[in-house]
Structures are given as C-alpha cells and as structure tokens.
Amino acid sequence: MHTSENKKAYISELFSGIQGEGLWVGLRQIFLRFSGCDLRCQWCDTPNSLNIKQNSFAKIEKTAGKRDFEEFKNPLSFDFLLESIYSLEKDFKHHSISLTGGEPLLQANFIKDFIIDLKKNSSLLIYLETGGHRFEELEQLINNLDIISFDLKLPSSTGEKPLWEQHCKFIELIKKYNKKAYAKMVLTSQTTKHDLEQSFDLMKNSIENCTLVLQPVTSSDLSLIPSPKQILNWQAMGINQLKSPNIRVIPQTHKFIGQI
C-alpha cells in the first residue's frame, strides 16, 4: 500500500487563478491553499486560512476559473486532492501549482509525498509560497520544488517578532540546493531603516541568483500604505547596499483586477 494513501491535509481552497505577486505575476496557476499559519502579520490578506479547524470546510473549484466552488469537510485525502487538481488541469494548461497558505510548510509531511505523486502524472511546475522561516520543513521537500517564493518578514511591517536567523538558514538551503527562488518583502509606512538594512544584509550573498521583490502593502487602512517617496528611497537603499540593480517593486496586481 502506498504510504500516502492514509495522509490527509487541511485545506482552505483549491482553484484556478492568476498569480498576482512577485516574478511570475500574470501567469495562470492552480492554487492549493493550506490552512494554518504560525504567524499573525498585521497586513495578512488571507485571514480565513490562519487557523486549522476540526470542523472546517474546504472550497474546491470544479471548473477552472468558473468559481463554481463546492465545499468538502476537512481534512481532505491525498487522492481526492490529486484528482481535483487533475480535473482543473484538464480544462486548459496551467503554468504551475502554487502551494500557499496560511503557511504550507506546517503540513510539510503531507506535501513531501503529495508533490512526488503529482509530478508523476502532471507537467505542472511546483511553486511554493512561504513565509521563509520554516527551514527544517523546507529541507524535507526542497528537492521536488521548482520555484520558491519566500518572504522576509520585517518586524516593523508585520508586527511580529524578528525572524532573521530563520530567514538566514532558509536562504542558505536555497543556495545549497541551487533552487530557482525570489525573496519578497511586504513594506508598510511603518517599515524602519534598520529592518530594511537587516534584510538587505541577508540577501547580500544571494542577490545574483535570487531576485528581491519589494511589495508595497495593499490595505484598506490607508495609513499603512507607504508613500511613493518612501518606496523610491527604499529601493535605492537596497541597490546601494547590495551593489545590484536586481531589486524590483511589484504590488499585488491581482487586487487591481478583482482576482482572489
């Protein structure tokens, strides 16, 4: 018996959509959103995925892009999720599958076997979106990842405790395994120079093969949104500190076009 047959995962939703952040912005992906997160960033845009609830339901899209969701009780089985993904992929070819959250690496034991089986029957690239701090879990499955999108969590932006050491070890793993990746920093009006310098310092040995994306926060709280002058100054700081122009400013484009 396949050891994965009895494995299950807590899922918030599965759907076909447009990647709205980072270097692969605009590409069509299948999004598999895992429930549960160990952080509570003040600007989190997926609050419904923060907690794992025993009696929760996952929203599963039946037809790619039609938003014809059905609800299924969590946790969902290995085979059910695979078949649901294959069904969406049959409607038309997607660039990749985004394993997102919440924090997907909280369910790394499930994901490790899941992506091995997924690769056997699909040409989808495996795209991980993560907070960039759970390095031990990353190492469990990094060999089967194609693209890694990871955050650098600035305490002055998130309202969370510093994670510099965890981020450093996370980046070291990406370099060790020579993975295609990019780092993303969500910036608010409260972002400090100290946090920016810390983040740029973490990236100083990685910037040539790991692009840094500065993402101005999207928020209904207008006081959190950084000014144009702040963004220009912060990008210039990074270019000077890293001695590289390989720093991009990319907002959350999916919010502009009404995509979830």
Which residue has 């419904």 as its token pair?
Answer: 48
Is 211 a member of any domain? no
CATH code of the domain covering residue 164: 3.20.20.70
- Note the pLDDT tens digit of each residue in 50-82: 888 888 999 999 999 999 999 999 999 999 999
pTM for this prediction: 0.94
250 is a domain residue: no
In this prediction, residue 1 has a pLDDT band, given cuts at 50, 70 and 90, of very low
Residue 227: inside a domain:
no
- The total of structural domains in the chain comes to 1
Answer yes or no: is 147 within a domain: yes
What's the confidence (pLDDT) of residue 5?
A: 57
Q: Find the domain containing 103 and state its range.
A: 8-185
Is 209 within the bounds of a domain?
no
Q: In this predicted structure, what is the pLDDT of residue 209?
A: 66
pLDDT digits 0-9 by tens, 104-113:
999 999 999 9
Dump pLDDT digits (tens) for 114-159.
999 999 999 999 999 999 999 999 999 999 999 999 999 999 999 9
- Over its C-alpha atoms, the chain yields an Rg (Å, rounded) of 18
**Looking at the domain assignment, is residue 203 inside a domain?**
no
